């Protein structure tokens, strides 16, 4: 099956914010990523606006012509934002406000009532929901019980083990993807996926709808250029 590439542009915003001006231009980069072949744009606005700002999200909405995916912890402020923006997809992550990056998936059972209410609100607004989870099949089944449309598998453990034992690294993700499929969920994946490990992940993991990649892709673009980088990531996803 075809697996879409959503480019996370948070790191572009981090670079822009370092100088307090508008270089690089986040909006231009999003438009160019699509022109170069990206299937979607991902942003993760955090409360401290250390990279993507609330204003950026509003400015990007009319520009993104593929899929707009907004990640974040579903605080009242975040939900107010996404319900106004109405992106194609919202990815729910359990990050605390000060977290540097996403470091774990949801314990869905412990947050079932909370997540169910959030997902109901997204569905009423016509927004696809994705819940950030680890590879535990029971956790995935609970995401389906909460009403999610998809899960996003947290792939840092895969990336960490890949060089040492790729088969062992990918095995839980193969099982998790099958469990998601059986539960009626779509499957996304993200975190520390790169040109180094992406092709094997795609070849081994069935039913993979989408990967969201930011840090590695933007880092590769410093050497390869953005058009060539996106081309290579898309080629890796063809298996």
Per-residue confidence in pLDDT tens, the chain, 239 aa: 899 999 999 999 999 999 989 999 999 999 999 999 999 999 999 999 999 999 999 999 999 999 999 999 999 999 999 999 999 999 999 976 555 455 679 999 999 999 999 999 999 999 999 999 999 999 999 999 999 999 999 999 999 999 999 999 999 999 999 999 999 999 999 999 999 999 999 999 999 999 999 999 999 999 999 999 999 999 999 96
pLDDT value for 71: 97
Query: Rounded to an integer, what distance in angstroms lies between the CA atom of residue 11 and that of residue 219?
Result: 9
pLDDT value for 72: 96
Domain ranges of the chain: 4-237
Is 113 annotated in the active site? Answer: no
Q: Catalytic one among 34, 51, 67, 71?
A: 71
pLDDT value for 104: 79
Which numeric CATH code is attached to 4-237?
3.20.20.70
Output the CA angle 70-147-4, nearest 5 degrees. 45
Is 196 annotated in the active site? Answer: no
pLDDT value for 101: 55
Is 191 annotated in the active site? Answer: yes
Query: Rounded to an integer, what distance in angstroms lies between the CA atom of residue 190 and that of residue 201?
Result: 11
Q: Catalytic one among 34, 44, 152, 210?
A: 44
Query: Rounded to an integer, what distance in angstroms lies between the CA atom of residue 8 and that of residue 222?
Result: 15
Specify the pTM: 0.95
Q: Catalytic one among 34, 51, 191, 210?
A: 191
The β-bridge relationship of strands 4-8 and 40-43 is parallel
Say how many residues make up the chain: 239
């Amino acid at each position: 099956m075809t697996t879409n590439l959503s480019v996370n542009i948070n790191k572009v915003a981090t670079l822009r914010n370092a100088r307090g001006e508008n270089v690089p231009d986040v909006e231009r980069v999003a438009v160019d990523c699509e022109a170069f072949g990206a299937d979607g744009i991902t942003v993760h606005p955090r409360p401290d606006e250390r990279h993507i700002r609330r204003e950026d999200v509003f400015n990007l909405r009319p520009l993104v012509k593929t899929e707009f995916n907004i990640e974040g912890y579903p605080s009242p402020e975040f939900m107010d934002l996404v319900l106004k923006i109405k992106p194609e997809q919202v990815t729910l992550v359990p990050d605390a406000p000060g977290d540097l990056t996403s470091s774990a998936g949801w314990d869905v059972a412990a947050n079932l009532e909370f997540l169910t209410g959030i997902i109901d609100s997204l569905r009423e607004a016509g927004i696809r929901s994705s819940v950030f989870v680890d590879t535990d099949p029971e956790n995935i089944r609970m995401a389906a019980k909460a009403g999610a449309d998809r899960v996003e598998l947290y792939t840092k453990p895969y990336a960490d083990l890949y060089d040492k034992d790729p088969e062992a690294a990918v095995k839980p993700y193969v099982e998790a993807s099958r469990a998601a499929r059986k539960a009626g969920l779509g499957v996304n994946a993200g975190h520390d996926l790169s040109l180094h490990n992406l092709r094997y992940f795609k070849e081994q993991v069935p039913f993979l709808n989408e990967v969201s990649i930011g840090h590695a892709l933007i880092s590769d673009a410093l050497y390869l250029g953005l058009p060539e980088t996106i081309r290579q990531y898309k080629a890796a996803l063809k298996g």
